[in-house]
Amino acid sequence: MTFSDTELKLYLSGALAEDRVPELEDALAVDDALEARLLTLDLEAASDLREAFAHVPLAENVQTLTQLTQSAAKIDAPVRGKLRQWGVPALAAAASFALAVVVTGQSPEPVALDWKDAVAIYQSLYTEDTLANLQVDSAALDQQLSLSAQALGRDLPRDAVGDLDGLPLLRAQILGIDDAPLIQMAYLTEDGQPVAFCMTEGGDAADVVAQTLSGLPTVHWSDGRFSYMIVGDVPADRLSRMADQVRQTL
């Protein structure tokens, strides 16, 4: 099955016909060449947006738009995902900033896109179908955890992360942000809601904070060496239980 550049651009803008979306996403999961084409179009769209606002008033404020878009483009997505999921949310954020500059003549407060924002944006693109058909292989899962532990430089025992408040671990993968590894562990609730437990290096020690990011409930904290985050469309008390469990077992 082939997909035209027009269809890929429609996908990035969220306008692709609904019946074509799952077909395209299935193809992207196995076709590196198709994924590379989509990535190229995604980056071209970001460049076009920056150019479109290059000559509007208050150029010093529009520069912040460029910085925001470039910041989003730095974030690595999964091995089978790369940057394709960044197109719609990153450009939407950039466009909203530019609109505020043009209409009001003033720039809004600077937007800091740290790792928690990045994770929440990425997770917000997951649907009930994203992990529904994922085949879990115990040996493969052990290997994923081993590779993730090596990348992060700390143990990730399966008995500590293999089950969070009754949710079995489905996948562990190595992402990256700001040249540092970011480990994402994926879970699925009983009613099909995707949940992610993520870890990355660094961060000042901080207690658990509950916060809504990109429309999703999250809890995040840091032990001073690593920072942690659990995100998913599940009740806040369940996220808190998961956080308590992780803090006790890791």
Kindly state whether residues 96 and 190 are assigned to the same domain.
Answer: no
Q: How many domains does the chain have?
A: 2
Residue pLDDT, tens place only, 16-28: 888 888 888 888 8
Kindly state whether residues 167 and 108 are assigned to the same domain.
Answer: no
- Give the distance, in angstroms, between the CA of residue 208 and the centroid of all CA atoms in the same chain: 20
For residues 202-209, average pLDDT: 93
> Does a structural domain hold residue 159?
yes
Kindly state whether residues 144 and 107 are assigned to the same domain.
Answer: no
pLDDT at 92: 44
Which structural domain range is residue 186 located in?
Answer: 138-249
> Does a structural domain hold residue 130?
no
The Cα–Cα gap between 55 and 132 comes to: 46
> Does a structural domain hold residue 129?
no
> Does a structural domain hold residue 40?
yes
pLDDT at 139 over 60: yes
Name the band, by pLDDT with cuts 50, 70 and 90, for residue 63.
very low
| 93 vs 41, residue with greater confidence | 41
For residues 34-47, average pLDDT: 66
- Provide, rounded to the nearest whole percent, the portion of the chain with pLDDT above 90: 42
Mean pLDDT of the chain: 77
Q: Are 239 and 232 in contact (CB under 8 A)?
A: yes
Kindly state whether residues 145 and 109 are assigned to the same domain.
Answer: no
> Does a structural domain hold residue 238?
yes
Kindly state whether residues 43 and 109 are assigned to the same domain.
Answer: yes
Which domain-ending residue is among 113, 130, 150? 113
The tokens for 108 are: 């809004």
pLDDT at 44: 58
Which residues, 6+ apart, have CB-to-CB distance to 118 below 8 Å? 72, 75, 177
End-to-end CA distance of the chain: 45
Helix ranges restricted to H, the chain: 5-12, 21-30, 32-52, 59-73, 87-104, 115-124, 138-152, 158-161, 236-249
Kindly state whether residues 83 and 40 are assigned to the same domain.
Answer: yes
Kindly state whether residues 63 and 145 are assigned to the same domain.
Answer: no
pLDDT at 178 over 70: yes
For residues 100-125, average pLDDT: 68
Kindly state whether residues 235 and 151 are assigned to the same domain.
Answer: yes
Q: Where is average pLDDT lowest: 82-86, 113-117, 241-245?
A: 82-86
Kindly state whether residues 65 and 159 are assigned to the same domain.
Answer: no
Kindly state whether residues 95 and 142 are assigned to the same domain.
Answer: no
pLDDT at 106 over 60: no
pLDDT at 107 over 60: no
Residue pLDDT, tens place only, 184-203: 999 999 999 999 999 999 98
